[in-house]
Amino acid sequence: MPADPQHSPTSDTPRPRGTSAVEVRRSSRRRRTVSAYREGDRTVVLIPAKMSEAEERRWVDVMLDKLAAQESRRLLGDSELAERAERLSGQYLEGRARPASVRWVTNQNTRWGSCTPAEGSIRLSHRLQGMPEYVVDYVLLHELAHLLVPGHGPRFWRLLEPYPRTERARGYLEGVVAADRLPHLPGASAD
């Protein structure tokens, strides 16, 4: 437990796939209410100081689900995704990448996106929905670059150099993949 009992930097509560770090903040002024919000790449959950560890874990899960549901209602549709692709192409690829279609798909469970240069089509996995914008932008820009350079050679990676969050986005996605590979043992958390 951290030195300050009112503030725990991260929760040891297992989190659903694709979620960011969770910071639990305890407050002695809070009696019954629990709230949560996103702060950058982190989720902050505010709870009463007297709440037990088991209640904390339960409320963190409840609040993560509630935030995810709120965010899913605000997700980009295919038309907004196409507008975003056009903006990214203009900003980072001099407008040279012009996809014929950009859409979300639910049948990509092992890759984040795909591109068919001959058709000019880009498909992004639905698993990206709800992830930080810079991550979605990176995957979209990655697929846009494939319209110009099909493989992953040096020319391809040079196209992505201007995007300032490439390494951060790749790290985020690698973390999601690594978290998915962790064993999910039933009853592993003791009260």
What pLDDT sits at residue 69? 63
What pLDDT sits at residue 170? 95
Q: The tokens 């979209």 sit on which residue?
A: 140
What pLDDT sits at residue 15? 43
Maximum C-alpha span of the chain: 61
What pLDDT sits at residue 1? 39
- Computed over every residue of the chain, the mean pLDDT equals 83
pLDDT in tens, 125-143: 988 988 888 899 999 999 9
Distance (Å, whole) CA 98 – CA 120: 7
pTM listed for this prediction:
0.59
Distance (Å, whole) CA 121 – CA 90: 17
* Backbone angle region of 20, left / alpha / beta, with phi > 0 → left and psi within -120 to 50 → alpha: beta
Return the higher-pLDDT residue of 130 and 27.
27
Q: Tell me the mean pLDDT in the region 4-28.
A: 59
Q: pLDDT band for 82, please (50, 70, 90 cuts).
A: very high
What pLDDT sits at residue 71? 63
Which of helix, strand or coil describes residue 167? helix
Q: Which string of b and e fits 82-118 if b means at least 16 CB within 10 Å?
A: bebbbebbeebbeeebebeebebeeebeeebbebbee
SS3 content of the chain, % helix, strand, coil (to 5): 40, 20, 40
Contact (Cβ atoms closer than 8 angstroms) between residue 44 and residue 60:
no
Tell me: pLDDT of 187 over 80.
no
Tell me: pLDDT of 99 over 60.
yes
What pLDDT sits at residue 74? 56
Contact (Cβ atoms closer than 8 angstroms) between residue 125 and residue 108:
yes
How many other CB atoms sit within 10 Å of the CB of residue 44? Answer: 16
Token pair for 46:
């505010």
Tell me: pLDDT of 97 over 90.
yes
Tell me: pLDDT of 9 over 50.
no
Distance (Å, whole) CA 103 – CA 140: 10
What pLDDT sits at residue 162? 94
